Amino acid sequence: MLLEARDVTKSFGPVQALRGVSLRLKPGSAHAVLGENGAGKSTLMKIISGVFPPSSGTLKVGGEEVRWHRAEQARAAGVSTIFQEFILLPNLSVAENLFLGHEPRNALGLMDRARMNRESRRILEDVGLDLNPEVLTGTLRVAEQQMVEIAKGVKRDARIFVFDEPTAALGDREAQKLFELIHRLRSDGKGILYISHRLPELFHLCDEVTVLKDGQFAGHFLMKDTNAEQLVTTMVGRSLDQLYPKRRPAGAAGPPALELRGVAVKGRAGPVDLTIGRNEIVGLAGLEGQGQIQITRAIYEGHALTSGKILFEGVELGHSGPAGGIDAGIGLIPEDRKVEGLFLPLSVARNVSAGLLPGRGLAMPAPTARRAVAGQVERLRIRLRNTAQPIRELSGGNQQKALLARWLVRGVKLLICEEPTRGVDIGAKSEIYALLRELADSGVPVLVTSRELPELIGLCDRIVVVRDGATVAEFRGEEASEEKIMAAAIEGGKA
Amino acid sequence: MTKLVATEGRAAGDVLFTALRSMLAIPAWPALVLLFATAAVMQPRLLTIPFLLIVLRQAVPLALAAIGQCLPMIGRSIDLSIGGVIAVVNVTLALPLFAGGPLWMSVAFPLAFGAAIGLFNAALIAFVRASAVVVTLGVSVMLVGVSYLVSGGAPGGTVHPFVRELAAGRWGLVPVAGVLLLVIATLAALLLRRSTFGHALYATGASYGAAWLGGLPVRKELVAAHVLSGIFAAAAGVILTGYIGTGTLNLGADLVMASVAAVVLGGTSFGGGAGGVAGVLAGAYALTFLANLMTGMGVGKPAQLIVQGAIIAGAAALARWRER
């Protein structure tokens, strides 16, 4: 057994992050660790990569019991961890990063750059990375940095590779490359621990899976003997078909609330033709960067249109700036929650009540929304210590719910949700879907963009495909499939 | 739902924990404790009530400037022009026209002037999106030039007796300016905590992008913050002038970085943070007390400057580290 964790428990003060979790990793196998956010995956991975020792229980590597307090100890024992955030030094070259602390020396005791670059090139080739070892690491794309991190592990002859949501920031092609590399590591007899929310990936890559729930062991399966349904049920305690709320029956879209007629957003020819009924959830699908975000922002921020018009509740929109969109009754949850949505250092209460600030005179008393905030926190089941807690301490799902709460306390008439569940665990996902449906049912239409087609298909009443800034196809949710949407989304595909 | 109930049950302990943590997030409080402890050993006479009240009076100009400074800083801007504002206010109040004229001139002119400078700063920062550091530093240099012009290079003269009384007067042991400061500070604290302006300013400091996309009036806030900062600087200039009773060259130059230091000690890092007016007051008081302590211990001006600079740099580093 390459690695064995037995009855591992970890407490942080009064909080028990892990309770009696066990896991065994065989050489030449890939072992998935699955669980909602807060289920204890990251804590377990940190114990295995030496960040801190378990409070009780044992960790054995190659049959020998270890007790690590620092990541270097784990690294020395052959554990290579590829975290979501990288620990490569951006101002050093790739070669310098690979050899950090073990730089080859020449006879004079100086760094032998030529040899370092030569060997780096070979190591990079080993992991299938065609890269100049002399470039600064900070200039590389995320995927390449990840590969360098892996190359570093390969160079050190690591036996155990821990991947913490490695594909979260990768495109499809880059992810494929990563998968090939992982396959190769596995056939070289390495052990892989793999954390990801993306089930198809796990079936593609892994041999077995351990599921955690609320810090406890919830199940262990061989990948060939299980299916997505069973994994989700184990992870959430609820089955997959309950993930999405029931759609509206056909013909129950309600009167049109938002209409885009022949709209061309800046820099795109268009036209975008789109109508959303008062009780509908409509999704914008398409390849990345086809103008989906320009469309949502044109509605909300009121970008100048090169042609066409946008009608909201029968009135042509002519505002400029988000404040105008909000004034018209539109709310938007941005795709990049941390940069464009949240006030990270501020409390949850301030983040939610910020929805009441637009349009208020600066000299007016600040909105005292204590009760409204508390009401939304309860309604959306936002998990927190108290509403004075800084929002940066909340999980992705709870942060997203807080942004929803911001618009709910204001009471918007149209909600635009870019990537409604990015970085959100499955439990919170289903709660957010249910809430969006509740909004639509109550007469607040929802416009959604998403990179995840299954999400659009499961959630939306209608899916509109955008290609190069124009709407090219439309499907009803129950008729839509990933194949149909992709065919329409790709240039020259059947629209 | 059991989770919610449990949350409420723990609330009291959490509030205490949060209060303790935010206390530590404001370096001014531990700094004051440290200073008092040092004084208790080295210079116990500094800890008598009369002396503490004298320090309060000395701290008023810095505290006023720092309260003003914390507004742009919360909104992730900064006002380095306050030194120039104070210099101009000082030489103007020492002109015979003002010293012998009606009282309202000695009060209304400085405040209006400070507001105008704040507006000018804000116009360049909020609308042209020029760097706040460079713009306000440039304005400060301009204003120092203006102050030389006004004073004809040979300042002096006297100021309106009421201005003197305002700055140096006492009710018993209690300095008038100290009471005035506490009243103004309370109003400023209310403005930050209870007004739409305050809430929006903290949000803008936390994330300009999110504040803009969230429909907050980011520009108006910055304008208001800079105008208020100018007014506060002018008020500091009035008190400082009343304190010394005459015109002098480049009065207030020390207050620029000291005000930034007081704000950072008060827990407001560059770009929002935990700080509030109470922290800024504590920061200003701590810096003034430190100067007295060092003077009492026979530490010269050069060493004082070195310590003050180290505190600014250290506090900024501490603020950054805390954010991690």
Distances (CA, A) of A308 to A90, B163, B297: 46, 64, 76
User: In chain A, whose CA is at the least distance from the CA of B13?
Assistant: A385
Q: Where are the domains of chain B?
A: 29-168+175-323
> Measured between CB atoms, does B324 come within 8 Å of chain A?
no
Alpha carbon distance A357, A342 (integer Å): 14
Fold exhibited by the domain B29-168+175-323? ABC transporter involved in vitamin B12 uptake, BtuC (1.10.3470)
Average pLDDT score over residue span B246-254: 87
| Separation between Cα atoms, residue A97 and residue A119, nearest integer Å | 13
Output the CA angle A480-A481-A483, nearest 5 degrees: 130
Q: Quick one: average pLDDT of B139-147?
A: 94
B210 neighbourhood in chain A, CB within 8 Å: 339-343
Chain B residues within 8 A of A365 when measuring between CB atoms: 194-196
For residue B174, what are the β-bridge partners?
B171
- Residue A93: predicted pLDDT: 86
CB contact under 8 A, A366 and B202: no
Nearest-by-CA chain A residue for B21: A389
Strands (DSSP E) contained in A265-381 are 272-277, 281-285, 307-312, 315-316, 330-333
Each of the 495 residues of chain A gets a pLDDT tens digit; together they read 889 999 999 887 767 788 889 999 999 999 999 887 667 888 888 899 888 889 899 999 888 888 888 888 888 888 888 876 566 788 888 888 888 877 888 888 888 888 888 888 888 887 777 888 888 888 887 778 888 888 888 888 889 999 888 877 677 777 888 888 888 888 889 999 998 877 888 888 899 999 988 788 888 999 888 888 888 788 876 665 678 888 888 778 889 999 999 988 887 887 999 999 999 999 999 887 888 899 999 999 988 888 889 999 989 998 889 999 999 999 999 988 988 999 988 999 999 999 999 999 999 999 878 899 999 999 999 988 888 888 988 888 899 999 999 999 999 999 999 999 887 877 788 899 999 999 999 999 999 999 888 889 999 999 999 988 899 999 998 888 888 888 888 865 544
Q: How high is the pLDDT of residue B175?
A: 93
User: Which candidate in B213, B219, B323 is best for mutational testing of the A interface (most A CBs within 10 A)?
Assistant: B213
* pLDDT of B324: 47
User: What is the Cα–Cα distance from A370 to B167, expressed in whole angstroms?
Assistant: 41
What size, in residues, is chain A? 495
Going by C-beta distance under 8 Å and a sequence separation of 6 or more, which residues neighbour residue A249? Answer: none
To the nearest whole number, what is the mean pLDDT of chain B? Answer: 87
Chain A residue closest in CA terms to B11? A386
CB contact under 8 A, B210 and A343: yes
Class of domain A3-239: alpha beta
Does residue A373 sit in helix, strand or coil?
Answer: helix
What is the number of CB-based contacts under 8 A between chain A and chain B? 106
Give CA–CA dist A198/B72, Å, rounded: 44
Nearest by CB to B14, from A343, A378, A386: name it: A386
Class of domain A256-489: alpha beta
Chain-chain contact of B206 with A360 (C-beta, under 8 angstroms): no
Give the CA-trace dihedral at A215, A221, A223, A229, to 10 degrees.
-70
Q: What angle do CA B102, B105, B106 make, to 5 degrees?
A: 100
Let me know: does B18 contact A388? Beta carbons within 8 Å.
Answer: yes
Q: What pLDDT does B239 receive?
A: 95
The CA-based diameter of chain B, rounded to the nearest angstrom, is: 75
> What is the average per-residue pLDDT within B275-293?
92
Whether chain A has a CB inside 8 Å of the CB on B10: the answer is: yes
Q: Residue B195: its pLDDT value, please?
A: 94
Distance (Å, rounded) from C-alpha A46 to C-alpha A53?
Answer: 9
Closest residue by Cα to residue B90 from B303, B283, B253: B253
- Is the Cβ pair B207, A339 closer than 8 Å? yes
From B172's Cα to the closest Cα of chain A, the distance in A is: 37
Q: Exposed, middle or buried, A27 (CB in 10 Å: 0-12/13-18/19+)?
A: middle
How far is A78 from A100, CA to CA, in rounded Å? 16
| A80 within 8 A of A182, measured Cβ to Cβ | no
A181 burial via Cβ count (<10 Å: 0-12, 13-18, 19+): buried
DSSP A245: P
Burial class (CB in 10 A: 0-12, 13-18, 19+), A333: buried
A309 vs A275: CA distance, rounded Å: 12
Residue A487's pLDDT is 83
At residue B268 the predicted structure's pLDDT band, cuts being 50, 70 and 90, is confident
Neighbours of B183 (CB within 10 A): 10
pLDDT above 80 (res B21): no
Q: Among residues B207, B252, B197, B206, which one has the least CA distance to residue B230?
A: B252
Written as one letter, the residue type at A93 is S
Q: Does an H or E element contain A98, and which?
A: helix A94-98
Q: Are strands A15-25 and A3-12 parallel, antiparallel or unpaired?
A: antiparallel
* The predicted structure's pLDDT at residue B19: 63
- Would the CB atoms of A357 and B216 count as touching at under 8 Å? yes
Option in B3, B196, B206 nearest A357 (CB)? B196
Q: What residue ranges do the domains of chain A occupy? A: 3-239, 256-489
pTM: 0.75
Q: Which residue of chain A comes nearest to B12, CA vs CA?
A: A386
- The beta strands (E) that lie in A205-255 are given as 208-213, 216-222
Tokens of residue B80, six digits: 């380095």
Residue holding tokens 């390449």?
A144
Instruction: Find which of A420-424, A483-487, B62-66, B310-314 is predicted with most confidence, using mean pLDDT.
Output: B62-66
Q: In this structure, what are the phi and psi dihedrals at residue A301, rounded to the nearest 5 degrees? A: -85, -15
Alpha-carbon span B256 to B268, nearest angstrom = 16
- By Cβ distance, the residue of A339, A362, A406 closest to B197 is A362
CB contact under 8 A, A350 and B14: no
Find the mean pLDDT for residues B136-144: 94
Residues of chain B contacting A410 with CB distance shorter than 8 Å: none
Mutate to test the interface with A, among B22, B194, B196, B223 (most CBs of A within 10 A): B196
What is the model's pLDDT at position B10? 45
How many residues are present in chain B?
Answer: 324
